[in-house]
Amino acid sequence: MKFNCIIVDDEKLARELLMEFLEPYPEIEVLAECSKGIEAVEKIEELKPNLIFLDVQMPGMDGFDVLEALEHKPYVIFTTAYDQYALKAFDSNAIDYLLKPLDEDRFKRAVERASERIKSEDSNFDELIESLKTGEGESKKYSTHLFVQKSEKLLNIEVNDILHLEASGDYTVLTTKNDQFLSSSGIGKLESKLDPEKFIRIHRSTIINLSYLKEIEKHFNGGLIVKMENAKSFPVSRTYAKQIRKKVV
């Protein structure tokens, strides 16, 4: 299967190296090279590539600014010399994240991953369109996996393994059966990624997974307390109490 890409990097040597790495892939057509963010936005909207190789740090518009400005949403492989952007990159639904100086073997794995994703999207396109027409594909918009940071690693966790989420300032603590993770995303942003049939907000600082809800206890003042399977308890605020009561049969 053939597909196309655009290379976006303000460094000429980096663009040349990416072109060199792409030579063994005749199925990938390079539509354009861009050295500036605003130029990249124009070319991506005009040419609508399947994939972009996108540098994070560029003068003017950086890589994340470019993505926010786009209506066409290609797959993205980020390239950068700084690994502190990794978590934000994966939060932007990137296929992969390559650190400079670029390694050819690592590049090959990223391209293979992108190729598989694009092929999968193409083969399922008709089925996806039909499901969207009938409403059966509604749940597809919710995340099934999240990348979270643990020490110096980014770990891929299944959303269904999350018991509850708790706001902690601008961050969110995600608790699974065996571990806890700190996300740089706020709880409101994470809530938008979660299926509301499975995850419900019970407080401005708390979201629970109904699959791990053990019992609901009425408090003396008329409030509610939820008890989770891991023995953790949370108060239900009056604002969100109706979400719990809807589950009572």
Has residue 203 got a pLDDT over 80? yes
Has residue 222 got a pLDDT over 80? no
What is the reported pLDDT for 137?
A: 44
Handedness of CA 118, 123, 125, 127 (dihedral sign): negative
What is the reported pLDDT for 249?
A: 59
Helices (H), the chain: 12-22, 37-47, 63-69, 86-91, 104-123, 125-134, 187-193, 241-245
What is the fold, at CATH topology level, of the domain defined by 3-131? Rossmann fold (3.40.50)
How does pLDDT run across 6-47, given as a tens digit for each residue? Answer: 999 999 999 999 999 999 999 999 999 999 999 999 999 999
Q: Considering the entire predicted model, what is its pTM? A: 0.51
What is the reported pLDDT for 156?
A: 86
Amino acid letter for position 182: L
Could you give the CA distance from residue 98 to residue 144 in angstroms, rounded to a whole number? Answer: 24
What is the reported pLDDT for 128?
A: 43
Cβ–Cβ under 8 Å, residues 45 and 71: yes
Q: Which residues pair with 162 in a beta bridge?
A: 176
Nearest to 202 by CA among 228, 171, 169, 179: 228
Cβ–Cβ under 8 Å, residues 44 and 24: no
Could you give the CA distance from residue 161 to residue 229 in angstroms, rounded to a whole number? Answer: 12
How does pLDDT run across 74-114, given as a tens digit for each residue? Answer: 889 988 886 665 555 555 557 788 888 899 999 999 999 88
Q: Which CATH number fits domain 142-245: 2.40.50.1020, 3.40.50.261, 2.160.20.10, 3.40.640.10?
A: 2.40.50.1020
Nearest to 14 by CA among 99, 108, 76: 99
Cβ–Cβ under 8 Å, residues 224 and 217: yes
The CA distances from residue 78 to 17, 37, 95, in Å, are 14, 14, 8
How does pLDDT run across 132-165, given as a tens digit for each residue? Answer: 444 444 444 788 888 887 776 778 889 999 999 9
Could you give the CA distance from residue 4 to residue 248 in angstroms, rounded to a whole number? Answer: 52
Measure CA 143 to chain center: 8
Same topology for domains 3-131 and 142-245, yes or no?
A: no
- What are the structural domain ranges in the chain? 3-131, 142-245
What is the reported pLDDT for 129?
A: 42
Mean pLDDT of the chain: 84
**What proportion of the chain, given as a percentage, has pLDDT over 90?**
42
